[in-house]
Structure 1
Amino acid sequence: MVRGKVQMRRIENVTSRQVTFSKRRPGLLKKAYELSVLCDAEVATIIFSQKGRLYEFSSNSEIRKTIDRYRRSTNDAATYQANIKQNILDGTYKEVYIRKQMRLKQETTNMERKIELLEVSLRKLSGQCLGSCSMDEIQEIGDQLERSLSSIRERKAQLFNDQIRQLQAKERSLKEENAKLLAKVSPSFPSCLANPGQSTTHPRATTIHSQSSPSTDGETRLFIGLPKS
């Protein structure tokens, strides 16, 4: 009679489940023993029944030694995996660092080349190193200088106009301030100071001067001798 294939799932019947456990447990322990003897392997088997009863087998004298060895192996494996991951990360970081350094080096080389070209162009604009320049290059340099001079003249004219406007504004401000000062001080001074073109001689002084002054039409005579009594 051919034995049918057993479906691997939990047996629902409690009695059948206990019977199956009792039948298969010795076979499992026997297989572990045979594996340790035939292959000279260190084998340890731990079984807990549904009710919590312990069944165990160890090819070593003590199962605890096998468990300690298992723990050391798992720790070593975890450490090894961590080291592998760290090495991978270090390698990735190193590769990124190398790429970054190469990019920076390339940028530095390009910048040095640009600086060198700018220095050559500046020397040509200042009239140096023109012996190797062709006619077209000379013409281009001349046009560039003309454009530069035109820009400089425009800026210079703009600065002059700005200064002129500032001076004119300052002049207007000074005139307004002068007019305000004259308006403030005019009432406290005589009219002669306000009108400097008029005569400053007092009328009485003019009359006295006219009386005491001899006539310019009279004859002037010279008398020598003692005065008459």
Structure 2
Amino acid sequence: MGRGRIEIKKIENNTNRQVTYSKRRNGLFKKAHELTVLCDAKVSLIMFSNTGKFHEYISTSTTTKKIYDMYQTTLRFDLWTSHYERMQETMKKLKDTNNKLRREIRQRVLGEDLDGLDMNNLTILEQQMQDSLTVVRERKYHVIKTQTDTCRKRVKNLEQRNCNLRLDYDTIHQLEQKYGTRENEGGYWSVIAYSNGVSSLNGFCESPNTIIPHGPGYEPLGLRLD
């Protein structure tokens, strides 16, 4: 029982379409290879799938460039002339744009190439310079303000740390005057560091790791008085 005829139309199922493309592509490449070997022909096949994937077959006795050259020679048509002309036009436009920008830079920065400008053009150039100056000044002020704010925050943090250290020092000094340094007993004062950055000494203990509870957010620090 023979295989039924397949209707030639687009396969809607993506999986079936990819499978069919792969099988028939391999079949075409096989036929091209056989034609190359049996008939000593020069064959070139280029394929793009619907997903944009590139596939190519070229006879081992030639290259893709040689195939293009033979095609042009046979048809007496140069494939590269139009492309070369478009590249030349693009390069000319880029050169004109570059020369225009260079001239504007010389006019705005160096004050050169002003002889060919009339009063109206000079007025426009002056306004452009004023606008550019405004943009540069705003950017400069923004950078300076950002740096200043950062420095102020650092200074504020350092001042707070300095204040906390001074409070700790004053507290220790007062306790030394009141209780002595406890040199012979080898004791420690428990320093409580609160979450708000304020430290406090809250009693004498025998070990620097002794925790004296004093509410949430504290950390005991051993401080020896000797």
**Same-fold status (TM-score > 0.5):** no
Q: Which has the larger radius of gyration?
A: 1
TM-score normalised by the chain length of structure 1: 0.43
Q: Indicate the structure with greater strand content.
A: 2
Q: Which has the higher contact order (CA 8 A, sep 6+)?
A: 2
